[in-house]
């Protein structure tokens, strides 16, 4: 009861300060509500999605597929539950925005492949089989914000029934993943999908992860190869096996994160891909080159392990951002992450 009241109050506060779906709302003061990180500050310009384009409302899978497919700027509002008959292939200059509390994508996920400037906010995407909830391949400037991703984390279902929640590959770049609620899922967010793709990926895959709420997850929160990820102010609860993994010369800057509950390893740069991540390839796990990690503002590891085998040179992010004080990360992320907040 108290929790519900607190939630409602907090929502009131957020609504009072944030204009719905504008993406440039004033902030809570202690964290940025609008776009922040690599999708904003990068050499090719801030992510704007469909800003300035026509606005359309869709409530069927067919209409959604149609609305996203060209490269015209367009703001697409999604109402209610939408079953996608196939994966939505998103063209450039698109905003896909859920309306209210209950915009929900089912059956097939969303792909941004070889296109640019896409915003995806306020959508629940769950139980997507045979593909990722969101797959970004060779895409630049993408903002994934205030969504919810869910499937099932259990030994019966295993790690491979569902694929990733937000997987980012093929030299994708300048991406922010913020305020998402990612839960009950084995392999959450993979960055760089193959250690043989060094020539394609190296020097790309700049991704900011901030104020995400991970809960009851298995691995990859995130797991990166060949890129740079700035991981700050995320809340991890019962992230069972391994949360942040940096391998194959990847670099992470990790700061102001909070780990709670049952988590074996919060951060590792040891190249071994643990058996729980890919139990089918080899029971011993796969060996890759180690990655790098730097620690910025203090993290609260909550008793989880940290294995930094080598420090990198990613000491600070090259943009401005609001760092939430460590003691406020848990309440703020719990109240602010997920759908129905913007």
Ligand X SMILES: *[C@@H]1O[C@H](CO)[C@@H](O)[C@H](O)[C@H]1NC(C)=O
Active site positions, annotated: 220
Q: Is 124 a residue that touches ligand X (CB under 6 A)?
A: no
Tokens of 324: 């939430």
Instruction: Give residue 313's region: left, alpha or beta (phi > 0; psi -120 to 50).
Output: alpha
How big is the site for ligand X, counted in residues (CB under 6 A)?
A: 14
DSSP string covering 157-219: TTTTSB--SEEEETT-EEEEEES-EEEEEEE--EESS-TT-HHHHTT--EEEEES-EEEEEEE
What is the distance between the alpha carbons of residues 81 and 92, in angstroms, rounded to a whole number?
A: 24
What angle, rounded to 10 degrees, do the helices at 326-336 and 2-17 form? Answer: 90
Interface of this chain with ligand X, residues 44 to 73, rule: CB under 6 A = 71, 73
CB of 337 to ligand X, least distance (A): 29
Choose one: 245-253, 275-283, 301-309, 332-340; the region binding ligand X (CB under 6 A): 301-309
CB of 73 to ligand X, least distance (A): 5
Using CB under 6 A as the criterion, what x/- string covers residues 212-251 for binding ligand X? ----------------------------------------
Interface of this chain with ligand X, residues 154 to 183, rule: CB under 6 A = 170-171
Tokens of 59: 């409530």
Choose one: 10-18, 33-41, 210-218, 303-311; the region binding ligand X (CB under 6 A): 303-311
Of these, 307, 321, 322, 323, which contacts ligand X (CB under 6 A)? 307
Nearer to ligand X, 170 or 183 (CB): 170
- SS3 at position 52: coil
Q: Is 42 a residue that touches ligand X (CB under 6 A)?
A: no
Q: Between vectors from CA 320 to CA 315 and to CA 324, what angle results, nearest 5°?
A: 85
Rg (alpha carbons) of the chain, rounded to whole number: 18
Nearer to ligand X, 113 or 152 (CB): 113
Q: What is the binding site for ligand X (CB under 6 A)?
A: 71, 73, 92-93, 114, 116, 138, 170-171, 200, 270, 305, 307, 309
């Amino acid at each position: 009861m108290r929790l519900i009241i607190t939630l409602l109050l907090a929502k009131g506060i957020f609504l009072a300060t944030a204009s719905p779906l504008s993406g440039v709302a004033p902030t809570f003061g202690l964290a940025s509500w609008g776009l922040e990180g690599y999708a904003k500050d990068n050499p090719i310009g801030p992510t704007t999605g469909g800003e300035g384009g026509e606005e359309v409302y869709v409530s069927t899978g067919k209409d959604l597929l149609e609305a996203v497919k060209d490269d015209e700027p367009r703001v697409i509002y999604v109402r209610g539950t939408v079953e996608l008959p196939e994966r939505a292939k998103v063209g450039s200059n698109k905003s896909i925005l859920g309306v209210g509390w209950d915009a929900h994508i089912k059956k097939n996920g969303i792909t941004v492949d070889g296109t640019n400037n896409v915003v995806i906010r306020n959508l629940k995407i769950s139980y997507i089989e045979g593909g990722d909830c969101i797959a970004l391949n060779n895409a630049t400037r993408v903002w994934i914000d205030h969504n919810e991703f869910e499937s099932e984390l259990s030994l019966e279902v295993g790690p491979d029934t569902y694929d990733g929640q937000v997987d980012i590959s093929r030299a994708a770049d300048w991406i922010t993943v913020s305020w998402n609620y990612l839960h009950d899922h084995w392999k959450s967010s993979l960055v760089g999908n193959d250690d043989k793709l060094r020539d394609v990926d190296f020097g790309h895959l700049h991704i900011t992860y901030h104020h995400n709420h991970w809960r009851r997850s298995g691995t990859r929160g995130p797991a990166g190869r060949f890129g740079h990820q700035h991981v700050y102010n995320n809340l991890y609860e019962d992230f069972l096996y391994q949360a942040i993994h940096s391998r194959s010369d990847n670099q992470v800057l990790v700061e102001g994160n909070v780990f709670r509950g049952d988590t074996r390893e919060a951060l590792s740069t040891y190249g071994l891909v643990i058996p729980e991540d890919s139990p089918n390839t080899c029971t011993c796990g796969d060996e890759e080159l180690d990655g790098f990690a730097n620690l910025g503002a203090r993290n609260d590891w909550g008793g989880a392990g940290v294995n930094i085998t080598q420090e990198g040179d990613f000491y600070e992010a090259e943009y401005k951002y609001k760092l939430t004080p460590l003691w406020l990360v848990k309440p703020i992320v719990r109240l602010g992450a997920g759908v129905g907040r913007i």
